[in-house]
Amino acid sequence: MGTLRDGTAVPAPAPIPAPREIAGWIMRPRENLAPSDVDALEQVRLACPDITNACDLARVFADLVRHRRGHLLGEWIRQAERCDLRAIRSFAGFLRQDIDAVTACLTPSCRSMYGRASFALLRARILTSP
């Protein structure tokens, strides 16, 4: 074991980022990350291969939501169902249970309440919209 005095001390390992911090790096568009955050996320991805797949799926899903690309949801669910992480597979299964409503929410159209409300609520919403 080295010492500081003779210059052979082993450097302390970098602190492990909190899961919430890692999730924030994953969910933000890459262009909105600081260069140090991009590097830190890359280190996490290298250290934990399971995170790489989850990160890729999460980024694609965030893009689907952000840009309302409902037509790509079915393919995303199929990929997520093949993921090694149980939480991702479970989330994909949850989306599949109500895929029509989720797809409608992610599709830019007037169908934002697809299958979710009574006719009276829909009527009130239409009459009060600008």
Asked if residue 7 is part of any domain, the answer here is no
Asked if residue 54 is part of any domain, the answer here is yes
Any idea which of 10-19, 33-42, 113-122 has the lowest mean pLDDT?
Answer: 113-122
> Structural domain tally of the chain?
1
The pLDDT of residue 47: 86
- The 8-class DSSP code of residue 109 comes to S
Asked if residue 40 is part of any domain, the answer here is no
Asked if residue 33 is part of any domain, the answer here is no
Asked if residue 53 is part of any domain, the answer here is yes
The pLDDT of residue 113: 53
pLDDT at residue 112 is higher than 60: no
Asked if residue 3 is part of any domain, the answer here is no
Which residue from 49, 52, 43, 46 is spatially nearest to 15, judged by alpha carbons? 43
The 10s digit of each residue's pLDDT in 40-92 is 999 988 888 778 888 899 999 999 998 989 999 999 999 999 998 899 999 99
Q: Which two tokens mark 100?
A: 């029509």
More confident residue, 78 or 123: 78
Counting Cα atoms < 13 Å in the Cβ hemisphere of 10 gives 3
3-state percent breakdown (helix, strand, coil) of the chain, nearest 5: 65, 0, 35
| Cβ neighbours for 69, distance < 8 A, ≥ 6 positions apart | 63, 106
Asked if residue 59 is part of any domain, the answer here is yes
Domain interval for residue 61:
48-128
Any idea which of 60-69, 90-99, 104-113 has the lowest mean pLDDT?
Answer: 104-113
The pLDDT of residue 125: 67
The 10s digit of each residue's pLDDT in 11-33 is 777 788 898 999 899 888 889 99
The pLDDT of residue 2: 59
